[in-house]
Amino acid sequence: AANLDPEARKIFFELLAERQATATMLISSHRLNEVAALVNRVLELDMGKVVLDDRVADDVSLSGLLDCRVEVKRREPAFIKAIGAWNFRDAGGGLIWEGTVAGPDRLRFLGMLSRYVALTTHISLTEIEAGAEQETKQGERQEWVRRVAGS
């Protein structure tokens, strides 16, 4: 999932979430920060031996979405490019940006924003209600399928 764009990652997490209750999933990664939100148990291997076997709080929903708003002091081309890669829309002359982030991508998104901490004046992340989440996911999934089919 690390090489997928944010929209494709969101779809990927939704597909995992559909199977979360009925299947055991094994995720192998060197990027612990990217998979931390996806798991409830971690095994760490060193030289083929288990050196850590621990449970993790799994409060983050694989299918959850966050409604996000970011405000900045001034228009900055590098920031505009970075936030645009997350499919955020300009809601105020390049100073206010709005969009959604998949729950498991929360840490990755905040990591991207941390590069612009001196530019940022306001950040809000609000979990989307289940009903609204379903409507949003369905529309985003249909749009993603249309774009992929068209390429």
Structure tokens, 149: 């089919």
Cα dist. 132→38, 67, 138, 139 in Å? 22, 11, 10, 11
Are residues 39 and 56 in contact, defined by beta-carbon separation less than 8 angstroms? yes
pTM of the model: 0.55
**Extended strands (E) in 17-143:** 41-46, 49-55, 65-72, 89-90, 96-102, 120-127
Task: For tokens 């148990």, name the residue.
Answer: 41
Q: pLDDT tens track of the chain, all 151 residues?
A: 667 787 787 788 778 777 777 877 777 776 666 666 667 777 878 888 888 887 766 565 666 788 999 999 999 999 999 999 999 999 999 999 999 998 778 878 888 999 999 999 999 999 886 555 455 555 666 666 666 666 5
DSSP H or E segment with residue 138: helix 130-150
Nearest-angstrom CA–CA distance, 77 and 103: 26
